[in-house]
Amino acid sequence: MIKRVKVLMSTYNGQKYLREQIDSILKQQGVEVSLLIRDDGSRDDTLTILSEYSSKYPNVEVIKGENLGFANSFMELVYKSSENSDFDYYAFSDQDDVWLPEKLSSAVKRLDSVDSSKMRLYFSNTMAVDEKLNPLFKTHDEATLRLDKAASLVRYFILGCTMVFDKNLVDFVSSHKPVHKIMMHDLWIHQTCAFFGEIVYDNEPRILYRQHSSNAAGVGSSKRKRIRRLKKSFATYERRHFRELNAKNLLATYGELFNESDYNLISAVANYRKSIMSRYYLLSSEKYDMGSKLSNLNIKLRIVLGLF
What domains, with CATH codes, occur in the chain?
A: 4-210 (3.90.550.10), 223-305 (no CATH)
* SS3 assignment, position 274: coil
pTM (predicted TM-score)? 0.91
Query: What is the percent of the chain with per-residue pLDDT over 70, rounded to a whole number?
Result: 92
User: Cβ distance 186 to 102 under 8 Å?
Assistant: no
Query: What is the percent of the chain with per-residue pLDDT over 90, rounded to a whole number?
Result: 80
Instruction: Give me the phi and psi of 307, to 5 degrees please.
Output: -125, 35
- Specify the amino acid at residue 85: S
User: Cβ distance 122 to 200 under 8 Å?
Assistant: yes
User: Cβ distance 167 to 88 under 8 Å?
Assistant: yes
In the sheet with 60-65, reading across from the earlier edge strand, the strands are: 60-65, 32-40, 4-11, 89-93, 164-166, 119-124, 197-202
Question: 192 versus 83: which is more confidently predicted?
Answer: 192
Q: Give the pLDDT confidence of 272-298 residue by residue, as tens digits.
A: 999 999 999 999 998 998 888 888 898
C-alpha 308/C-alpha 292 separation (Å) is: 17
C-alpha 75/C-alpha 72 separation (Å) is: 5
Q: What is the mean pLDDT of the chain?
A: 92
* pLDDT over threshold 50, residue 222: no
Burial 173-205, CB ≥16 within 10 A → b, else e: beeeebeeebbbbbbbbbbbbbbbbebbbbeeb
* pLDDT over threshold 90, residue 120: yes
Q: Give the pLDDT confidence of 134-186 residue by residue, as tens digits.
A: 999 999 998 888 899 999 999 988 999 999 999 999 999 999 999 999 999 99
pLDDT confidence tier of residue 230, bands split at 50, 70 and 90:
very low
User: Cβ distance 185 to 92 under 8 Å?
Assistant: yes
C-alpha 167/C-alpha 229 separation (Å) is: 34
- Residue 143 CA, chain-centre distance (Å), reads 21
C-alpha 14/C-alpha 96 separation (Å) is: 7
C-alpha 33/C-alpha 24 separation (Å) is: 11
* SS3 assignment, position 178: coil
Query: What is the model's pLDDT at position 186?
Result: 97
Which of 63-72, 90-99, 184-193, 285-294 shows the lowest mean pLDDT across its residues? 285-294
Question: 229 versus 90: which is more confidently predicted?
Answer: 90
C-alpha 256/C-alpha 263 separation (Å) is: 9
User: Cβ distance 109 to 206 under 8 Å?
Assistant: no
C-alpha 52/C-alpha 17 separation (Å) is: 15
* pLDDT over threshold 50, residue 92: yes
C-alpha 122/C-alpha 250 separation (Å) is: 21
Q: Give the pLDDT confidence of 233-269 residue by residue, as tens digits.
A: 445 556 779 899 999 999 999 999 999 999 999 999 9
User: Cβ distance 186 to 121 under 8 Å?
Assistant: no
